[in-house]
């Protein structure tokens, strides 16, 4: 009888609202992807509401840990990014095992980053920014969202490429970080185009370069040089977002969520909204859980040594 009841419950999943945990503050790039995806996912999940819960802190690892410890019933999911691949090297006591404490439900998008600065910076392009940085060593505040954040990884690589140490100011997400950048409390930040495109277009922040190896198609960002062409040879950072459930979530449920995700990712309006902000929706095999997991494994192998070489870690 129990098995029959369980099967019946699976068939009707979801019968109540589904929560997607976003491990950063509301309003940032991860939150924006999650809320946009949640609205599109809802239509594919019996029109059940899909609610976002922001659990910020420790560069996204607190939110990830919360989901890893949640009941594996399909009602608590995690939308996270490249931090899943960098946190294992950054945290000596990570409160979860990245590859074994989650079911991998599919990769969602890939997002370039922009190097931006407060509008009052006396630099107008990357060359003059570099001059300003060299003239202000020891006095530069670089904002990020904590160890494990995409902005942390990009900022770390940027400091290494310039061989300049900056004071890093951590926030619970790049939405609050952006508020301080707009207010001139911090000097520069490396953040995803989903959070910076509008601020760049309205001139509220200065944009200096993009972190991908190819310039961006978004008209307002196309004029920005890549950091690689601007002199930081080989600089190449693209952020990605994936969807996860706690380990042990029944396959019938994870299959249903993955099928709903595939339909959501094929939604033309979702594509248009995301692409207007510079994000690229994943359309290859990584939308499947197995390939998503393989990709994260490869990203852990790629970024681990880079992080370890930087000697940055948290206990
Ligand atoms: C956010 O959503 O605030 C960002 O993903 C933070 C980051 O990872 O830089």
Helix axes 251-265, 29-42, angle to 10 degrees: 100
* Pocket lining: 29 vs ligand 1, CB cutoff 6 Å: yes
pLDDT of residue 6 exceeding 70: no
* Pocket lining: 173 vs ligand 1, CB cutoff 6 Å: yes
* Pocket lining: 189 vs ligand 1, CB cutoff 6 Å: no
pLDDT of residue 313 exceeding 70: yes
Q: In this predicted structure, what is the pLDDT of residue 314?
A: 87
Q: In this predicted structure, what is the pLDDT of residue 70?
A: 98
Burial label for 161, CB within 10 Å (0-12, 13-18, 19+), is: middle
**Helix/strand/coil percent split, the chain, to 5:** 45, 20, 35
Q: Contact, 83 vs 148, CB < 8 A? A: yes
| Closest atom of ligand 1 relative to the 82 alpha carbon | 8
* Pocket lining: 28 vs ligand 1, CB cutoff 6 Å: yes
| Closest atom of ligand 1 relative to the 148 alpha carbon | 8
ipTM score above 0.90: yes
Residue 279: closest CA among 192, 203, 204: 192
Q: In this predicted structure, what is the pLDDT of residue 5?
A: 65
* Pocket lining: 81 vs ligand 1, CB cutoff 6 Å: yes
Percent of the chain scoring above 70 in pLDDT: 97
Start-to-end CA distance of the chain, whole Å, equals 47
Question: How many whole angstroms from 81 Cα to the centroid of ligand 1?
Answer: 8
Spatial separation of the C-alpha atoms in residues 106 and 261, rounded to whole Å = 8
Spatial separation of the C-alpha atoms in residues 148 and 143, rounded to whole Å = 13
């Amino acid at each position: 009888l129990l098995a029959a009841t369980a099967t019946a419950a699976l068939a009707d999943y979801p019968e109540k609202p589904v929560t997607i945990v976003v491990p950063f503050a509301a309003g940032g790039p991860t939150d924006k992807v999650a809320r946009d995806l949640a609205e599109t996912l809802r239509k594919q999940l019996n029109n059940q509401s899909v609610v976002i819960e922001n659990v910020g802190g420790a560069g996204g690892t607190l939110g990830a840990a919360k989901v890893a410890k949640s009941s594996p019933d399909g009602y608590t999911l995690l939308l996270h990014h490249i931090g899943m691949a960098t946190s294992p090297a950054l945290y000596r006591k990570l409160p979860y095992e990245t590859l074994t404490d989650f079911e991998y439900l599919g990769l969602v998008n890939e997002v370039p980053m922009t190097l931006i600065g407060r509008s009052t910076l006396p630099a107008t392009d990357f060359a003059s920014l570099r001059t300003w940085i060299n003239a202000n060593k020891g006095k530069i505040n670089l904002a990020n969202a904590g160890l494990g954040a995409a902005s942390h990884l990009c900022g770390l690589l940027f400091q290494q490429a310039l061989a300049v140490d900056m004071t890093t100011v951590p926030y619970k997400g790049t939405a609050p970080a952006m508020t301080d950048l707009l207010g001139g409390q911090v000097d520069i930040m490396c953040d995803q185009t989903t959070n910076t495109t509008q601020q760049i277009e309205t001139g509220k922040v200065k944009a200096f370069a993009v972190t991908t190896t190819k310039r961006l198609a978004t008209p307002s960002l196309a004029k920005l040089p890549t950091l690689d062409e601007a002199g930081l040879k080989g600089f190449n950072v693209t952020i990605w977002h994936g969807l996860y459930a706690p380990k042990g979530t029944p396959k019938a449920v994870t299959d249903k969520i993955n099928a709903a995700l595939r339909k959501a990712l094929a939604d033309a309006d979702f594509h248009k909204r995301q692409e207007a902000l510079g994000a690229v929706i994943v359309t290859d095999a990584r939308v499947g859980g197995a390939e998503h997991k393989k990709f994260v494994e490869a990203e852990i192998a790629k970024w681990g040594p880079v992080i370890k070489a930087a000697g940055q870690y948290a206990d």
